[in-house]
Amino acid sequence: MALRYDAGEVLTAMVTPMDSNRRIDYNKAEELAKYLINNGSEAVLVAGTTGESPTLTHEEELELLGTIKRAVANKAKVIFGAGSNSTETAVKMTKLAHKEEVDAILSVVPYYNKPSQKGMIEHFSAVAEASDLPIILYNIPSRTGVNMLPETVAYLAEKYKNIVALKQSSPDMDAISELKLQCPSDFAIYSGDDSLTLPMLSLGVHGVISVASHIFGVELKSMIRNFKTGEVQAAKNMHKVLYTI
Residues 14-63 pLDDT 10s: 999 999 999 999 999 999 999 999 999 999 999 999 999 999 999 999 99
Whether 138 sits among the annotated catalytic residues: the reply is: yes
Task: Provide the pLDDT confidence category of residue 1 given band limits of 50, 70 and 90.
Answer: low
Q: What is the mean pLDDT of the chain?
A: 97
Q: Whole-model pTM?
A: 0.97
Parse the chain into domains and list their residue ranges: 10-215
Q: Provide the strand spans (E) within 2-54.
A: 10-13, 43-46
| Active-site pick, 5, 167, 190, 221 | 167
* Euclidean distance between CA atoms 216 and 208, whole angstroms: 12
Tell me how far CA of residue 183 lies from CA of 40, 72, 73, 161, in angstroms: 28, 32, 33, 12
* Euclidean distance between CA atoms 35 and 143, whole angstroms: 29
Task: Provide the pLDDT confidence category of residue 74 given band limits of 50, 70 and 90.
Answer: confident
| Active-site pick, 5, 26, 77, 138 | 138
* Euclidean distance between CA atoms 194 and 54, whole angstroms: 22
Residues 132-162 pLDDT 10s: 999 999 999 999 999 999 999 999 999 999 9
Quickly name the fold that domain 10-215 has.
TIM Barrel (3.20.20)
Angle, vertex CA 130, rays to CA 15 and CA 9, nearest 5: 40
Q: What is the pLDDT of residue 97?
A: 96
* Euclidean distance between CA atoms 196 and 170, whole angstroms: 9
